[in-house]
Chains A and B, each alone.
Chain A
Amino acid sequence: MMLRGATAIFWRDLIVLRRSLLSELLAVVASPLTLYLAFGFGLKGYISSVDGVPYAIFIAPGLISMTAVLAAFEEGAWSMWFHRRVQKTIEEYRVTPITVYDIVVGKLFSGFFQGGIKGVAVAIIIFILTPFRFPLAHLFIYLLFIGLGAMIFSCLGTICGTLMDKPEALGRIQTVVIMPLIFMSGIFFPLSSYPPAVLPYIRLLPTTALFEGARLALLSGRGGILPLAILTVTAPIMFALAVVVFNKKIEE
Chain B
Amino acid sequence: MPSALSLQGLTKRYGTLTAVDRFSLEVERGTVFGLLGPNGAGKTTLIKMLTTTMRPTEGDAYIEGRSVVSAGRRVRELIGVVPQENNLDRYLTARENLVLHARMHGIPSRDYVRSIDELLELTGLAGRRNDFPDTFSGGMQRRLVVARALVHKPRLLFLDEPTTGLDPQSRRALWEHIRTLRSEMTIFLTTHYMDEADSLCDRIVIMDHGKALVDGSATELKSQFAPPHIYELEVKRDAERYEELFRALPVVTSLERDKEAFRIVLKDEESLKLLLDSIRSGDIRKICTVEPSLEQVFLDLTGKAVRE
Give me the interface of A with B, judged by CB distance under 8 Å.
1, 4-5, 7-8, 11-12, 15-16, 19, 87-89, 91-99, 250-251
Across the interface, do A11 and B55 meet the contact criterion of CB distance under 8 Å?
Answer: no
A-B contact pairs, 11 of them (CB 8 A): A1-B106, A4-B106, A12-B100, A15-B96, A87-B90, A88-B83, A89-B89, A92-B87, A95-B51, A95-B81, A96-B101
Contacts of B88 in A (CB 8 A): 87, 89
Across the interface, do B104 and A91 meet the contact criterion of CB distance under 8 Å?
Answer: no
Q: Report if B283 contacts A (CB, 8 A).
A: no
Give me the interface of B with A, judged by CB distance under 8 Å.
51-55, 73-74, 76-77, 79, 81, 83, 85, 87-92, 96, 100-101, 103-106, 148
The majority secondary structure among interface residues of chain B is loop
Across the interface, do A97 and B73 meet the contact criterion of CB distance under 8 Å?
Answer: yes
Contact partner of B106 (CB less than 8 A), chosen from A92, A95, A97, is A97
Across the interface, do A15 and B53 meet the contact criterion of CB distance under 8 Å?
Answer: no
Across the interface, do B103 and A95 meet the contact criterion of CB distance under 8 Å?
Answer: no
Shortest Cβ-Cβ A-B pairs, 3 listed: A8-B103, A96-B104, A88-B87
CB-based A-B contact count at 8 angstroms: 65
User: What is the distance, in angstroms, from A109's C-beta to the closest C-beta of chain B?
Assistant: 14
User: What is the distance, in angstroms, from B56's C-beta to the closest C-beta of chain A?
Assistant: 12
Across the interface, do B100 and A87 meet the contact criterion of CB distance under 8 Å?
Answer: no
Across the interface, do B104 and A89 meet the contact criterion of CB distance under 8 Å?
Answer: no
Contacts of B106 in A (CB 8 A): 1, 4, 97
User: What is the distance, in angstroms, from B81's C-beta to the closest C-beta of chain A?
Assistant: 4
From known contacts A4-B103, A4-B104, infer whether A12 and B89 are also in contact, taking CB-CB under 8 Å: yes
Known: A8-B100, A97-B77, A250-B53. 10 other contacts (CB 8 A): A15-B96, A89-B89, A91-B87, A92-B81, A92-B83, A92-B87, A92-B89, A97-B73, A251-B54, A251-B55
User: What is the distance, in angstroms, from A105's C-beta to the closest C-beta of chain B?
Assistant: 13
**Nearest chain B residue, comparing its CB with the CB of A11:** B103
Contact partner of A96 (CB less than 8 A), chosen from B54, B74, B83, B105, is B105
A4 to B52, CA, bound (A): 19
A12 to B103, CA, bound (A): 10
User: What is the distance, in angstroms, from A78's C-beta to the closest C-beta of chain B?
Assistant: 13
